[in-house]
Amino acid sequence: MKILYIIGQSEGGLPHYTAELANNVLRYAEVTVMKPSKTDGDELFAEEIQLIDAFEPLSVSMSKIYNFSVNLIDVCNGLLSYTNLRKIADLDIDIIHDATGLFPQVKFFARYHGIDIDHPFVVTRHEVPKNRFSPSRPPVMVEEIIKAILPDVKESLSIVHTDHQRDALIDQGRMPPERIGVLPHGAYSIFGDRSDVTIEPDQNTILFFGNVVPPKGIDTIIRAIPRIKQTIPNVTLLIAGDGRIPNDVQQIIDQHPENFEIHNYFIPNEDVIEFFARSELVVLPYRSQNGSKGHSGALATAFSFGKPVVASTAGDFRSLVEETGSGTVVPPENPTELADAISTVLTDEKAKQRMAKNSLRMADQLSWERIAEKHVDLYERLLSDSSFSVPKQFQSIK
């Protein structure tokens, strides 16, 4: 079996996701990856994978969009370069899988060149908003409007991460239920895991990791720090990621500089382990995600390093964090409840140990070896059955 993965974005966590999936599927199949000439995950792919630099880098990410630092010429060149999807016709492959969410340029050129007709076409959707056109997240709304205008591709199989995402996709009429598989987001191993950590965490250090953009609620955790400080004077919020800290909370940082450590840049892959190793817990104070968020790369990495998590109830964090015992959740945009939850975890050693143990259990349950096996099972069924429908064991994670 020969699998081709398409990467539709140069920056952010999607190249990492594709690398994890491709590296583990490699145990069962020949793997080719068609990608931009430069991505954030380039050095993570196994040597045995055939990498084809088919596209120009898009030079766009959520942090750049919110910072208005997008180079339109680079973006246009990147988008137009996806006409190179036509080269798939020259490859000997069995299945095409866009594991990065079917960005508009992939959807357009896949349909334009008919590659969705010539091969089974699989798409992993990482976000499925309940309301596709909700203005709560303007970049996502604009993307959904563009994709709604474009002609549909012939999707053989859609993969989502949670039951809620599957329900949303069905409600929107975008895919028939029998063509939607539910496979959870794997726990990242490409950055290392708990066994690679050789240092003790810094006392009372909280990690906010990833793009610093409004939907992730950076302002909520910053507002929570003064309240946490009343109970834990030496608390430190470690911010590691690219983006912009809102002006209305920058003054809090200026008033309490001893409680903040900020690394406001893209964190190189080899440095990720340092930030997770130093933290006692990971915080995910996301705003309401319109029901779209099935997982988080930061959460996947927290599991790998066995870190307790304090998250908001956005998306599926309640089931992924609280119901698994890996941490606790609070309502979005509530600095008081967030501060109290963090203070409780930091001062309760038994709770920290219990949550850390459950995070490691989740890392094992969500290992990429297991996730890849499930993908390969679906690929094989798709190839062997022209009337393919998703088996019941892949229709829910419950």
Same domain, 218 and 108: no
Count of domains observed in the chain: 2
Q: What is the pLDDT of residues 332-344, one digit of tens each?
A: 999 999 999 999 9
Q: Do 279 and 262 contact (CB within 8 A), yes or no?
A: no
The pTM score is 0.89
Q: Which residues pair with 262 in a beta bridge?
A: 239
Residues 172 and 38 in one domain: yes
Together in a domain, 114 and 212: no
Same domain, 180 and 287: no
Q: Are residues 168 and 230 in the same domain?
A: no
Verify that 341 and 322 share a domain, yes or no. Answer: yes
* Banded model confidence at residue 363, pLDDT cuts 50, 70, 90: very high
Residues 179 and 56 in one domain: yes
Nearest to 12 by CA among 72, 58, 49, 67: 58
Domain holding 280, by residue range, is 194-365
What's the CA gap between 315 and 302, in Å, rounded? 17
Residue 198 and residue 176 share a domain: no
**pLDDT given at position 152:** 87
Residues 240 and 250 in one domain: yes
Q: How many CB atoms lie within 10 A of CB 158?
A: 22
The model's pLDDT over 341-360, given as tens digits with 9 standing for 90+, comes to 999 999 999 999 999 999 99
41 in the same domain as 81? yes
pLDDT in tens, 51-108: 999 999 886 655 555 555 666 777 788 889 999 999 999 999 999 999 998 999 999 9
Tally of residues, the chain: 398
- Residues 306-318: tens digit of each pLDDT: 999 999 998 889 9
Please indicate, yes or no, whether residues 35 and 172 belong to a single structural domain of this protein.
yes
Site of tokens 């997982």: 295
CATH number at 286 reads: 3.40.50.2000
49 and 175 housed in the same domain: yes
Q: What's the rounded mean pLDDT across residues 372-388?
A: 90
